[in-house]
Amino acid sequence: MSAPAPLPHAHGILHINLNAAAAEPEHAFYRDLLGLNLRMRSHEPKGDATPMGIDGITDSETLFLYDARGPRVAGALEIVQWNEPGPVARALPAAPWHLGIAAVGYRVPWAPEELRRRAGGAVLGEAPLPVAGRANQGALRVQDPVGVPVELVPDADGESPALSHLRINTADLERALAWYRVLGFTVADGPTRRDLPAGTLGAAGPVAVTTAAVALSEDPTFTLELTQWHTPRPSVPSPTGRTHKACSVSPWPVRT
């Protein structure tokens, strides 16, 4: 019996997918706040989404938004407007310790005061969890029109906003690290236990987490921030269809 073929190693993050009922409000939010550029628009009126578990013909329109680095250098934020089937509305959990994808992150070239002014009414609160092992003074969590949390991290050395990370809450950090290593990711920081004050991120009591960051050698500017919550205990979101309004990373982030 021949040995199974090895899994392909990832070389870069191709895209982060965000589902919406209407793409333009999402486009306007990321354009106006972060200066993301619309580099391509694709309409598939008779798409085949069976690989995603969706039966029948689909109709969707996708907007490809990039930071100033552009395609082939940075990953895209792909806003998918589902016309058929329509997206399943779901209120994202208010507490940031639910299992699964918790936030998308960008580094921004603004001081904390300027960042807060620019974000305005979209601010949810502070973003105290580390990125690539660094505590980021003045980092904020904001909310886009669909309800997706976005972590904005001040970067005095940056020239323009840049996609920096995706935060994922996991029930078993060691298993998650092992899984991403198979895909070609290496540990950039951690695992590190962190005990945070009561009230952090809206928790009623003290917060205890273990964090680790993984990255790809060909794109060290982007990290997956893996977080295991000890207290509060992580919650499990209700399952939904494949077109729910949410944020997700490409399951095979392989760039060729």
Q: Bridge-partner residues for 211, per DSSP?
A: 192, 227
* Whether the Cβ atoms of residue 112 and residue 137 lie closer than 8 Å to each other: yes
**Which positions of the chain have pLDDT values less than 70?**
1-4, 7, 90-94, 237-256
Residue 166, pLDDT score: 97
The DSSP symbol for 190 reads E
| DSSP class per residue in 55-93 | -SEEEEEEEEEE-TT-TTTS-EEEEEEEEESPPBP-PPP
pLDDT tens, position by position, 42-82: 999 888 888 777 888 889 999 999 999 999 899 999 999 99
Rounding to the nearest 10 degrees, give the CA dihedral for residues 17, 21, 25, 30.
-10
- How many Cβ atoms are within 10 Å of 187's Cβ, its own excluded? 14
Instruction: Of 132, 232, 104, give the one whose Cα is nearest residue 192.
Output: 132
Instruction: Of 254, 189, 172, give the one whose Cα is nearest residue 224.
Output: 189
What stretches of the chain adopt beta strand conformation (E)?
Answer: 15-20, 37-48, 57-66, 76-84, 100-108, 123-126, 140-143, 149-154, 162-169, 186-196, 207-216, 219-231, 247-249
Residue 230, pLDDT score: 96
Residue 2, pLDDT score: 66
Peptide bond just before 112 cis, omega within 30 deg: no
Q: Walk me through the domains of the chain, giving residue ranges and CATH numbers.
A: 15-86 (3.10.180.10), 100-231 (3.10.180.10)
Instruction: Of 118, 35, 116, give the one whose Cα is nearest residue 127.
Output: 116
